Chains A and B, each alone.
Chain A
């Protein structure tokens, strides 16, 4: 009996010690696509996260930060597995996740089942994540895929004179959202999208898709990322393709522009739009690029941070800033923390970011063209900046809801 009592005391004191230790520390769980097609994207995302950690010196709200990383492969089930492990097994205090579009929808659904936990999106950009059935504990400090295309349709219609285009994209929610944004703007002005081709994420052999691309178009829009983008370009070059290219936000990105081989040279001159531009003169952006370059040796990073690095940096900055504001006090069931997130105006490297009533970012977008810089690197040069892009892309919300969610065929190519 005595022994049991002793054992219980020991256990209790251990538990107390653990609780005391936990109080000076905040555990943050992060997921990134460190496997599969989007590996390079996940790796650079984590670099951006690391830059933010260094800036805060691994402390926020007066407490040490402990980071737990979980890997995913851009599929929704891998993301749920990773987040569930972080929340239920590693018992993290906060979550920053996920990277990719369809992962985001799955993590939002999971967030509904974990009301005590607060999720900050890392980089995913499907519209549905925050627009349809949004979770009260899911915050997104990056714009969605459609917002990241703001200005592109108009630029290629008016400045480039393109009238007919075809699109090729990976077959999942983020790229649907990107094409959604492009089609609304381009077709609204009178442009024609004659064909939309969808390929499974992780396609290796694009030869037949390349052969099926229409000839009678002014340009081809490519909404591919990571290994898919490089594979496509490589095989497109082998097939002797020479169409003008319009690029999605992760197609014209350092994750592709820094890849090995010659295929990326096809992207020279390509027009694209994204939440950032590599050569933006703004001092905030330049300071971020400098911090990124200082944090890693040249062979362990890209010439300039990718969109993923920027998103992870911003998401982490939002979390750390909110923790600073509430002195790291999460004891009230995250109530103050969520308020701090909601009211945060993030002075991000890619422009000011604030949240709307769905906890979705309103921010700045950039239309770019790919050029070669003086060191021979391919970079995106800003040609137009669009400020205050909201999730409904300037449409009144009821009109926007009537257009319907992005899909393979939605929206139709017409003026709404």
Chain B
């Protein structure tokens, strides 16, 4: 069962072999990738010569866009990972995923308003949205297993109903979840942007909350990867991805597994809502925006693959932020451009295994 690697990147050894094998197979691409990484590191760490500044503008702008793209990618990853997990295991295209994100954001806001505490908002959003996901799975998806078109249409319909219900409860206003005191303001990073005439270096000042949220999403991503590749439940999930019928036949309570994964994926989207509400804002319309972002991310990364979701989220985040700085007029087009390129040259997604 484990011999075939799942779309999540396979086992640990599998992944290691994969990377080495990939380098052996495509030495040129590997070399280019390595060069790009070195160039990027140099751009971030070095003192820019005038020539570079003429091409890319001030270093601060470039480095900030880079950081912003990466941290925005963290948020996209949190939303998209639930989507891709649910798809990978159950082949359920849940187009109400954006509604779960928005619902989580509103719950987080309400919790923070009621208690004044930020961290409990994550717990509340995770638990309640997970329950909503559980209901969605047991009441809707279970009755139309394998009928993808029906699922798609039903979830589009549900997302419209949810949007109206949330408009009814929370109104058309936009909400911002206040950043807690200990996360407010900027932090100085040991990256030199410029040197003042008196030789004193100017360091990059970056919003603390974005760094913390990015770190958290990395931790979640790594834990998820470990959970899927190293635990028994993860093994069952991978087996389910490969061959559902065979797994069910071997006595595993597969419906329970489905319900759990669905709830977990939904809960992640809910938590992402709190994150989004903290460093951006939540309002009607954010549901479709994040559904679209998740779709683009998983199409770029490869449906059902968690490392793919991470890579896709990173690329889309960077495309958006660099676009908004260097070509603001066409910023909106950029993320779709990435998607179009991927669809043209690698339609199965960058990190899809099949």
Question: Could you list which residues of chain A lie within 8 angstroms of chain B, going by C-beta atoms?
Answer: 34-37, 39-40, 43, 171, 197-200, 203-205, 207-212, 226-227, 230-231, 234-235, 237-240, 259-263
Q: How far is the CA of A36 from the CA of B174 in the complex (A)?
A: 9
B1 CB, nearest partner CB in chain A, Å? 42
User: Top 8 A-B pairs ranked by shortest CB distance?
Assistant: A211-B64, A240-B186, A238-B207, A39-B172, A207-B68, A227-B174, A204-B280, A212-B61
Decide yes or no whether B206 CB sits under 8 A from chain A. Answer: yes
A77 CB, nearest partner CB in chain B, Å? 15
B321 CB, nearest partner CB in chain A, Å? 5
Tell whether A204 pairs with B209 under 8 Å between CB atoms, given A211-B65, A212-B64, A261-B176.
no
Q: List, sorted by A's number, 24 A–B pairs whose CB atoms are closer than 8 Å.
A: A35-B284, A35-B285, A36-B283, A39-B174, A39-B283, A43-B173, A205-B324, A208-B69, A208-B322, A209-B324, A212-B64, A212-B325, A227-B281, A230-B281, A234-B179, A237-B184, A237-B185, A238-B186, A238-B279, A239-B186, A239-B207, A240-B207, A261-B176, A261-B178
Q: How far is the CA of A372 from the CA of B186 in the complex (A)?
A: 26
B292-323: CB near A (< 8 Å → 1, else 0) gives: 00000000000000000000000000001110
Q: Which residues of A contact B179 (CB under 8 A)?
A: 234, 238
Tell whether A207 pairs with B61 under 8 Å between CB atoms, given A43-B172, A239-B206, A240-B185.
no
User: Do A198 and B328 touch across chains, with their CB atoms under 8 A apart?
Assistant: yes
User: Do B281 and A234 touch across chains, with their CB atoms under 8 A apart?
Assistant: yes
Q: Which residues of B contact A208 (CB under 8 A)?
A: 61, 64-65, 68-69, 321-322, 324-325
Decide yes or no whether B91 CB sits under 8 A from chain A. Answer: no
Decide yes or no whether B72 CB sits under 8 A from chain A. Answer: yes
Decide yes or no whether B97 CB sits under 8 A from chain A. Answer: no
Q: Which residues of B contact A40 (CB under 8 A)?
A: 173-174
The residue that A205 contacts in the complex, of B72, B176, B186, B332, with Cβ under 8 A, is B72
B178-217: CB near A (< 8 Å → 1, else 0) gives: 1100001110000000000000000001111110000000
Tell whether A235 pairs with B328 under 8 Å between CB atoms, given A211-B61, A240-B185, A260-B175.
no
A299 CB, nearest partner CB in chain B, Å? 12
Q: How far is the CA of A2 from the CA of B210 in the complex (A)?
A: 79
CB within 8 Å of A: which B253-306 residues: 279-281, 283-285, 289
User: Do A240 and B205 touch across chains, with their CB atoms under 8 A apart?
Assistant: yes
Decide yes or no whether B331 CB sits under 8 A from chain A. Answer: yes
Decide yes or no whether B244 CB sits under 8 A from chain A. Answer: no
Decide yes or no whether B60 CB sits under 8 A from chain A. Answer: yes
Q: How far is the CA of A200 from the CA of B327 in the complex (A)?
A: 12
The residue that B328 contacts in the complex, of A197, A231, A239, A240, with Cβ under 8 A, is A197
A196 CB, nearest partner CB in chain B, Å? 11
A227 CB, nearest partner CB in chain B, Å? 4
Q: How far is the CA of A97 from the CA of B339 in the complex (A)?
A: 39
CB closest residue in chain B, given A207: B68
Tell whether A35 pairs with B172 under 8 Å between CB atoms, given A207-B210, A208-B324, A238-B186.
yes
CB closest residue in chain B, given A262: B178
User: Do B325 and A204 touch across chains, with their CB atoms under 8 A apart?
Assistant: no
CB within 8 Å of A: which B321-354 residues: 321-322, 324-325, 328-329, 331-332
User: Do B61 and A205 touch across chains, with their CB atoms under 8 A apart?
Assistant: no
A220 CB, nearest partner CB in chain B, Å? 15
CB closest residue in chain B, given A39: B172
Q: Which residues of A contact B207 (CB under 8 A)?
A: 207, 235, 238-240
Q: How far is the CA of A39 from the CA of B286 in the complex (A)?
A: 14
CB within 8 Å of A: which B16-74 residues: 57-58, 60-61, 63-65, 68-69, 71-72
User: Do A239 and B205 touch across chains, with their CB atoms under 8 A apart?
Assistant: yes
Tell whether A238 pairs with B185 under 8 Å between CB atoms, given A39-B172, A39-B174.
yes
B253 CB, nearest partner CB in chain A, Å? 41
Q: Which residues of B contact A259 (CB under 8 A)?
A: 176
Q: Which residues of B contact A226 (CB under 8 A)?
A: 174
CB closest residue in chain B, given A214: B58
Q: How far is the CA of A154 from the CA of B238 in the complex (A)?
A: 68
User: Do B205 and A209 touch across chains, with their CB atoms under 8 A apart?
Assistant: no
Q: Which residues of A contact B283 (CB under 8 A)?
A: 36, 39, 227
Q: Which residues of A contact B65 (CB under 8 A)?
A: 208, 211-212
User: Do A39 and B331 touch across chains, with their CB atoms under 8 A apart?
Assistant: no
User: Do A200 and B176 touch across chains, with their CB atoms under 8 A apart?
Assistant: no
Q: Which residues of A contact B71 (CB under 8 A)?
A: 207
Q: How far is the CA of A9 from the CA of B33 in the complex (A)?
A: 83
User: Do A209 and B280 touch across chains, with their CB atoms under 8 A apart?
Assistant: no
User: Do B280 and A205 touch across chains, with their CB atoms under 8 A apart?
Assistant: yes
The residue that A200 contacts in the complex, of B72, B172, B178, B332, with Cβ under 8 A, is B332
B157-174: CB near A (< 8 Å → 1, else 0) gives: 000000000000000111
B106 CB, nearest partner CB in chain A, Å? 14
Q: Which residues of B contact A36 (CB under 8 A)?
A: 283-285
B62 CB, nearest partner CB in chain A, Å? 9
The residue that A199 contacts in the complex, of B57, B72, B328, with Cβ under 8 A, is B328
Q: How far is the CA of A230 from the CA of B283 in the complex (A)?
A: 12
Tell whether A207 pairs with B285 under 8 Å between CB atoms, given A39-B172, A230-B174, A235-B279.
no
Most buried by A among B210, B279, B320, B328: B328
CB closest residue in chain A, given B188: A240
Q: How far is the CA of A171 from the CA of B331 in the complex (A)?
A: 12
